[in-house]
């Protein structure tokens, strides 16, 4: 559908994204500068990889969430400590990507060779560790035990999520409850920390901090659900990485969990795909059709919609500002994105 054919009351996702990120364009530029500064090292290979990671870009959703949450809580998102903590969130996210790509043997990330593919697993492991430690070192400048408590807890949960996921790899009997436990730990808690820490740096009001923590948790759940749906339905070129790899890596995501609830006869074929790492037993297109026809894709999309709605509802306690409006628009941007 062209932009001109959109109903007047509906803002196209691309327009919403431009509006949201333009609102804090200067602050995000400062995040890029801070990322470059924090990634500097007198060890040449670390400096080079840090620059490689920064240049790989990304949507910078987590820094944007931190900055917007700060503004929405009455703070000044351009302050150096807010920029620093927004960058810390991106460092933590980047560290998880580096480690995830090693575990998954991923070859590409954002249309470029992954760190493990480009520099080898050993270097990638140590670079991920360096990013984690650098994030915590930068956060110490805040001299805030509550902030450190949040960062420590979220880092532990992300690691727990990765370990829990490893225990389910190759299994076709993963439950919806297990899936969401892993999803929340691996993705949603970091989003939640972005909202909560952003609020803490802007307001001492506990209700505001709780609202933005809940907003981030629900937004993160919606974000990961959409990621899993895109892996199931999108193409390599659109995603900027290989599509359909979750199942090849032995990961059962929500569309297939729902599909197997109604079509148990496909369990053997899905198990074979996970075991052999190819779609020889049943094609990806056939699975997508089955998930569409059975209603499994719609059920998964509806769950993402529910989390997005819950995120928006969490903002009701905040003052009506352009920053709250931007936060309210992010769930739509996430639901409608194609990569």
> What distance in Å separates the CA atoms of residue 196 and residue 280, rounded to the nearest whole number?
46
Report the pLDDT value the prediction gives residue 44, as an integer from 0 to 100.
82
Q: Cα 175 to the chain's mean position, in Å?
A: 22
Structural domain contains residue 216? yes
Give the Cβ contact number of residue 88 at 10 Å: 29
For the stretch 171-207, pLDDT in tens is 999 999 999 999 999 999 999 999 999 999 998 899 9
Count CA atoms within 13 Å of residue 3 on its CB side. 6
Q: 191, 222 in Cβ contact below 8 A?
A: no
Q: 174, 252 in Cβ contact below 8 A?
A: yes
> What distance in Å separates the CA atoms of residue 273 and residue 282, rounded to the nearest whole number?
7
Q: Is the full-model pTM beyond 0.85?
A: yes
Report the pLDDT value the prediction gives residue 290, as an integer from 0 to 100.
94
Mean pLDDT for all residues in the chain: 89
For the stretch 4-42, pLDDT in tens is 333 334 566 666 777 888 999 999 999 999 999 988 887
- C-alpha closest to that of 192 among 69, 99, 322: 69
> What distance in Å separates the CA atoms of residue 315 and residue 333, rounded to the nearest whole number?
16
Structural domain contains residue 6? no
Q: Cα 300 to the chain's mean position, in Å?
A: 17
Structural domain including 218 reads 11-330
Structural domain contains residue 154? yes
Report the pLDDT value the prediction gives residue 339, as an integer from 0 to 100.
66
Confidence of residue 235 (pLDDT cuts 50, 70, 90): low
Structural domain contains residue 156? yes
Structural domain contains residue 255? yes
For the chain, how many structural domains are there in total? 1
Q: CATH number of the domain that 281 lies in?
A: 1.10.600.10
Structural domain contains residue 137? yes
> What distance in Å separates the CA atoms of residue 170 and residue 53, rounded to the nearest whole number?
30
Structural domain contains residue 122? yes
For the stretch 135-145, pLDDT in tens is 999 999 999 99
* Per-residue DSSP letter, 278: S
Q: Cα 8 to the chain's mean position, in Å?
A: 30
- C-alpha closest to that of 317 among 150, 72, 75, 77: 72
For the stretch 86-130, pLDDT in tens is 999 999 999 998 998 888 888 887 778 889 998 899 999 999 999
Q: Using alpha carbons, list the distances in angstroms from residue 25 to 58, 78, 138.
A: 15, 10, 22
Q: Identify the residue with better confidence: 245 or 237.
A: 245
């Amino acid at each position: 559908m062209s932009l001109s054919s959109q109903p007047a009351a509906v803002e196209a996702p691309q327009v919403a994204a431009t509006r949201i990120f333009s609102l804090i364009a200067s602050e995000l530029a400062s995040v890029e500068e801070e990322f470059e500064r924090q990634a500097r090292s007198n060890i040449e290979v670390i400096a080079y990889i840090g620059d490689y990671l920064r240049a790989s870009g990304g949507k910078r959703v987590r820094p944007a969430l931190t900055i917007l949450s700060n503004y929405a809580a009455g703070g000044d998102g351009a302050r150096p400590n807010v920029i620093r903590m927004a960058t810390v969130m991106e460092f933590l996210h980047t560290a998880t990507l580096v480690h995830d790509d090693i575990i998954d043997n991923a070859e590409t990330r954002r249309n470029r060779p992954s760190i493990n593919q480009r520099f080898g697993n050993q270097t990638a492991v140590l670079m991920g560790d360096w990013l984690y430690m650098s994030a915590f070192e930068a956060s110490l400048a805040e001299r805030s035990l509550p902030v450190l408590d949040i960062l420590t807890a979220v880092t532990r949960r992300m690691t727990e999520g990765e370990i829990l996921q490893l225990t389910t790899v190759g299994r076709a009997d993963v439950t919806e409850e297990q899936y969401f436990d892993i999803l929340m730990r691996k993705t949603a808690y970091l989003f939640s920390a972005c909202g909560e820490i952003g609020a803490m740096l802007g307001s001492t009001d506990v209700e505001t901090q709780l609202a933005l923590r809940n907003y981030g948790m629900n937004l993160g759940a919606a974000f990961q659900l959409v990621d899993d749906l895109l892996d199931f339905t999108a193409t390599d070129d659109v995603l900027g990485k290989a599509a359909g790899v979750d199942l090849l890596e032995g990961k059962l995501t929500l569309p297939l969990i729902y599909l197997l609830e109604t079509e148990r006869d496909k369990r053997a074929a899905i198990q074979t795909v996970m075991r052999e790492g190819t779609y020889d037993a049943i094609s990806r297109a056939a699975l997508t059709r089955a998930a569409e026809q059975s209603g499994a894709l719609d059920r998964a999309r509806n769950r993402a919609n529910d989390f997005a709605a819950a995120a928006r509802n969490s903002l009701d306690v905040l003052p009506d500002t352009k920053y709250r409006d931007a936060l309210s628009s992010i769930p739509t941007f996430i639901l409608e994105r194609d990569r």
